[in-house]
Amino acid sequence: MMTEALIHQAAEKSHEAAEVSSAPEDAQLSPAEVEAAVHAIADRSRHAARRMARANRAWKDKGLRAIGAALIASKAQILAANAKDVEAGRANGTSAALLDRLTLNDTRIEALAAALENLAGLPDPVGNVVRGQTLPNGLRLRQINVPMGVVAAIYEARPNVTVDIAGLALKSGNAVILRGGTAAAATNEALIRVLRDALDSVGLPADAVQSVDQFGREGANVLMRARGRVDVLIPRGGRDLIQTVVNNSSVPVIETGEGNVHIFIDESASEDMAVEILLNAKTQRPSVCNTVETLLVHSGSTVLPAVAAALRKAGVTLHADERIRAALPASVESVPATDEDWATEYMDLDLAVGMVDNLDEAVKHIRKWSTGHTEAIITNDLANAERFISEIDSAAVIVNASTRFTDGGELGLGAEVGISTQKLHARGPMGLTELTTTKWIVQGEGQIRS
């Protein structure tokens, strides 16, 4: 068991390391010291969470607006830190998709601040009555939303997630511990400093936002084992990261999933709609999880040439099955598709394209290869739309719109922690309510159970 002296010493070292750099190599601590330091961070988070749970909506919204203003005021410092991470990523051979996720610019920082403003305008979920009744014996019951407590998040190369998760956690009355990964170390360090200073400026606890980045992978491992100190852990990233957290965590995990997203063009779909939706779903931002990765086209549809030509003009590589390749005009290039393509989340300008003869075949294909994130149908047949909605079991099902709308901000949630593809507690975009749990309030006048 760790002594109080060792815990105090490790905690002091943790503060010193955090002030110098978020890079793992700067935290020269033994495994025992890392464990003690991360536990100390979690304990400070627990104390901060108790204060956040007592904060009213006006106070929390003031904190969110202070963070938004501070992000704009600190834009130069944040972008300078981000440039270091992007340069290091390029030198290390990081893919274009991951570099896109890693990169911040003026527009993206302004969008983060705007999302915080939107979040401040949303109702506070804490105290919301889920259900209630008065029993025949006079007991008055209410089930209400309450904060989770200490929320931890492990993610990679996504500095926007640092702000999104912190904002959602604060609005829902929680404290958050972040592990943002080495690739975004400098950016996350700058962002967390801004977040903490902004909270302190309005009298909210700075320890409501903390990081374990300075402890590298060992810090993440300790965080995953901190059951009792951390209430819930949310991984956000690729399959390997998510499965590592799911398989190794003793802390309860809300699993976010990769997005092998499908669009089915039905026989009745109009050409203009199909072209616009596919271009948006594939090319607007290819590196994100709600980008379409597989297109299924009804054999009776006439829109394939126009859709394929538009995608190729936008720089998309088509990985097409034999029937699609035979149906494409000679001017539209493609490469043969394999089973690996149907299973791939490209997160780039690549698209698997297959032909099916009816809705049943489309549903069968999606059930086989889907990761349960988002699927869409483009159709003018109401019966087919209703069948698609009924038979597709994914977190989001879309009719006649881009898959890019599976996003917390776009769906009116202010922001999101991630897209949950599991079926327990939270599913789909996880906003404020998904970062709360419930408790029962029972009020009586001396009743006893017979």
> Confidence band (pLDDT; 50, 70, 90) for 407?
confident
- More confident position, 287 or 65: 65
Report which secondary-structure segment, H or E, holds 59.
helix 57-73
Q: Residue written as tokens 């379409």?
A: 292
Query: How confident is the model over 63-108, as pLDDT tens digits?
Result: 999 999 999 999 999 999 999 999 999 999 988 878 988 999 999 9
CB distance 152 to 179 below 8 Å: yes
Q: Residue written as tokens 């902004």?
A: 198
Residue 9: pLDDT over 80: no
Query: How confident is the model over 161-195, as pLDDT tens digits?
Result: 999 999 999 999 999 999 999 999 999 999 999 99
Residue 370: pLDDT over 60: yes
Could you give the C-alpha distances from 85 to 80, 101, 158, 190, 288, in angstroms and in order? 9, 12, 11, 12, 19
Residue 378: pLDDT over 90: yes
Mean pLDDT is lowest, of 80-89, 115-124, 168-177, 407-416, for 407-416
Helix (H, G, I), strand (E, B) or coil at 352: strand
- More confident position, 50 or 410: 50
pLDDT of residue 98: 84
The structural domains of the chain, ordered by start, are: 4-248 (3.40.605.10), 261-410 (3.40.309.10)
pLDDT of residue 412: 79
Give φ, ψ of 380 to 5 degrees. -115, 15
> Confidence band (pLDDT; 50, 70, 90) for 425?
confident
| Strand-pair category, 129-134 with 436-443 | unpaired
Residue 435: pLDDT over 70: yes
Helix (H, G, I), strand (E, B) or coil at 126: coil
The two most distant CA atoms of the chain are separated, in Å, by 83
Exposed e or buried b per residue across 349-374, where buried means at least 16 C-beta atoms within 10 angstroms of its C-beta: bbbbbbbbeebebbbebbeebbbbbb
Residue 26: pLDDT over 80: no
What ranges make up the beta strands (E) of 189-282?
209-211, 232-236, 261-265
What ranges make up the beta strands (E) of 299-372?
317-320, 335-336, 350-356
- More confident position, 416 or 347: 347
pLDDT of residue 57: 97
Q: Taking residues 112-137, report their average pLDDT.
A: 95
What is the value of pTM for the model shown? 0.81
pLDDT of residue 269: 98
Could you give the C-alpha distances from 383 to 59, 173, 358, 364, 390, in angstroms and in order? 49, 44, 13, 18, 11
Report the percent of the chain where pLDDT is more than 70.
94
CB distance 109 to 75 below 8 Å: yes
| CA dist., res. 162 & res. 193, Å (int) | 11
Dihedral angle of Cα 124, 126, 132, 135, to the nearest 10 degrees: -150
Burial of 213 (0-12, 13-18, 19+ CB in 10 A): buried
pLDDT of residue 6: 42
Report which secondary-structure segment, H or E, holds 265.
strand 261-265
Residue 10: pLDDT over 70: no
Determine the straight-line distance between the first and last CA of the chain, rounded to whole angstroms: 46
Helix (H, G, I), strand (E, B) or coil at 1: coil
pLDDT of residue 415: 74
CB distance 151 to 173 below 8 Å: no
Query: How confident is the model over 209-254, as pLDDT tens digits?
Result: 999 999 999 999 999 999 999 999 999 887 788 889 999 999 999 8
Q: Residue written as tokens 């769906």?
A: 411
Closest-CA residue to 345 (of 235, 240, 233, 264): 240
| CA dist., res. 443 & res. 240, Å (int) | 47
The pair of three-digit structure tokens given for residue 149, joined into one six-digit string: 């407590």
Residue 411: pLDDT over 90: no
Bridge partners for 256 per DSSP: 420
pLDDT of residue 237: 80
DSSP string, 96-112: HHHHHHH---HHHHHHH
Q: Taking residues 269-283, report their average pLDDT.
A: 98
Establish how many alpha carbons lie within 13 A of residue 281's alpha carbon, considering only the half-sphere containing its beta carbon: 31
Q: Taking residues 107-117, report their average pLDDT.
A: 95
| The amino acid at 142 | R
Query: How confident is the model over 11-25, as pLDDT tens digits?
Result: 444 443 333 333 444
pLDDT of residue 16: 39
Q: Let me know how long the chain is.
A: 450
